Chain A
Amino acid sequence: MGRNVAIAGAGMSDFGMFSDRDSKNLFVDAFEEMRGSVDKGFDANAIDALYVGNFTNDLFVKQSHWGAVLADALGLIPKPATRTEGACASSALAFREAVFAIASGFYDVVLVGGFEDMSKRTTEEVTEGLALASSPYEGAAGFTFPGVFGAMATAYFERYGATREHLMDVTIKSHDNARFNPKAQHQRSIRQIMESRRKRAQAKGGPVPAWETEKDFLADAQANPPIAWPMHLFDCSPISDGAACMLLVAEELATSFTDTPIHVRGIGQGSGRALHAADELTSFEATRAAAQEAYQMAGVDAGDIQFAEVHDCFSIAEIMHTEDLGFFAAGTGHKAAAEGLTRRDGSKPINTSGGLKCKGHPVGATGVAQMIEVWHQLRQTAGERQIPNRNLQIGATQSIGGTGGTCAVTILERR
């Protein structure tokens, strides 16, 4: 890169379903938290430009042109504002553009973020809207997003001998992590959900479910109904509202904003084909390309990445991503999840935030929100979900758009 880039501050709104907050409210929440996180303070007039990712607002909110709308809402007029759209990787692409802008020497201080406002639409409308990011052929054949990942799961099961039980390991771990994330949409462990439902059944005087283990609960089609088999409800990330943003600065300016800058060490982006034309049904070509680019730029390999936030829009996706990123060999990601390697205390913690599954997945916000979790972990500010007993120096994020058409990988470092 021409110039190196550092993160001087970061913030996110609560993630969840908010009937009283619109896109601007959510982004302002994120902005205010970000401003508070810049240890030495900063003047918003110092922001040279805004890059913001959003996927569905044209459709769900009936409003386009969100770069300018948000620049106005944040009092940044007449600074340049650009919206990026790469489906669920939209803000990961905004981040990349912001890095380019600073690396080139064009800007010194850039605000980057993402947001999505989805919950005011019905589930069917959201399902149909999100499916716009798959290929036209998939839509015509009746595929939904969960359907594409469900189909990939059947191919993975067939090829590597995995079962739904391995997917449950991912879900249980995500819920365990999200217990300690105050921003998360779902903050209860599977155990806590089971207890609550048992109590509710008792209170109603109905039969009390006889689940013993978390997997009993997840195997119960009443408690965990199929959405796009083998994807059941607890394999799927929720419909969410939320926003996230970061202040990126030229590295040489970072210490005037904070004593604990986090450095952008590598970025990569790749593209992939539609499901029918994919080179593999059990892997994402775009992720493999993005990871290679990011690792090469950072001068690291998969073994150097201590922990990561990956795009678990569906449980099977987390397993595939951990393989595509090179953390585990192809076909072994499900075993790694079963062995606990991806838990917070495992050798390669994955999605300490609770992941998209539990933290929530306001799609345009997700890429930057993933980086915020890595930023917290590297700064040792992740609270009760902090990865224990580890000198954390390098973490990564991986975001996919659609059904793998776009992927961005980012490697962050604390020095």
Chain B
Amino acid sequence: MSESIVSDHAFEQYLAEGRLMGVRCVGCAAIWVPPRALCPDCHMGDMEWIPMVGTGKLMAFTSIFIGPPWMAQQGFDRQHPYCTGVVELDEGPRVVARIDGVDASHPEDIKIGLPLLVDFDDVTLDASRESLDASGPTSDLRPHLVFKPR
């Protein structure tokens, strides 16, 4: 994919290709992930895409026992909770992401500060589902970030 306009859609397209991309403000060098078309620090709109390494740490999390219908359709329920959280990337920005590879049934054992690595397996899976769905993209079918312990 060549240089895209700075949008959530482009961010998700990069994710579907297995790339975690952010933007850097050409004016003040601030880095933003997910991307922003306008730098909220200096209010300039000149942003350039840059790749993120894909490593970070867990800052906050929850184990979700009652999720939205589209998560239930993927088999998550009271007996099968999933973990989602806030990840601080090593470059500084924070992102929200599903956290795989932890035991969501025992959230008291999940530790803040846990070192994490981006995992693109599920993302590309969801991206392929999107093309199969004629009703248009919904939250479940949109590429999203997944991290796992490293």
Contacts and interface: CB of A to CB of B under 8 A. Distances in A.
Verify that A and B bind, or say they do not. Answer: yes
Contact of A228 (B66, B69, B139): B66
Contacts of A135: 96
A277 B8 contact: no
A142 B145 CA distance: 10
Contacts of A136: 8
B19 interface: no
User: Mostly helix, strand, loop or mixed at chain B's interface?
Assistant: mixed
B60 interface: yes
A125 interface: yes
A125 B66 CA distance: 11
A186 B64 CA distance: 24
Contacts of B13: none
Interface string B58-77: 01111111111111100000
Contact of B62 (A131, A140, A225, A231): A231
A132 to B, nearest CB: 10
Interface string A122-151: 011101100100011111111110111011
Interface string B22-61: 0000000000001000000000000000000000000111
A276 interface: yes
A152 B96 CA distance: 12
Contacts of B142: 140
A225 B143 CA distance: 31
Given A154-B60, A228-B63, A144 B96 contact: no
Contacts of A125: 69
Contacts of A281: 59-60, 86
B111 to A, nearest CB: 9
A124 B72 contact: yes
B94 A277 contact: yes
A158 interface: yes
Contacts of B95: 137, 276
Contacts of A103: none
A227 interface: yes
Given A143-B96, A229-B107, A124 B59 contact: no
Contacts of B112: 154-155, 158
A104 B109 CA distance: 56
B80 interface: no
A226 B65 CA distance: 6
Given A136-B8, A147-B84, A141 B107 contact: no
B82 interface: yes
Given A275-B86, A276-B96, A150 B62 contact: yes
B148 interface: no
Contacts of B139: 139-140
A147 B61 CA distance: 8
A370 B133 CA distance: 43
A16 interface: no
B97 interface: yes
A230 interface: yes
A155 B113 CA distance: 10
Given A228-B66, A281-B59, A141 B144 contact: yes
B85 interface: yes
A123 B112 CA distance: 30
B66 A127 contact: yes
A151 B69 contact: no
A5 to B, nearest CB: 34
Contacts of B85: 151
Contacts of B67: 127, 142, 144
A123 B69 CA distance: 10
A412 to B, nearest CB: 34
Contacts of B97: 141
Interface in A20-56: none
B86 A276 contact: yes
B13 to A, nearest CB: 13
A155 B59 contact: yes
B68 A229 contact: no
Contacts of B82: 142
Given A228-B62, A274-B96, 13 more contacts: A127-B67, A142-B144, A143-B64, A144-B66, A144-B67, A154-B112, A155-B60, A155-B86, A155-B112, A225-B65, A227-B65, A228-B65, A276-B96
Interface of B: 8, 34, 59-72, 78, 81-82, 84-86, 93-98, 107, 112, 139, 142-145
10 contacts: A127-B67, A139-B68, A142-B98, A155-B60, A158-B112, A226-B63, A228-B63, A229-B81, A229-B107, A281-B86
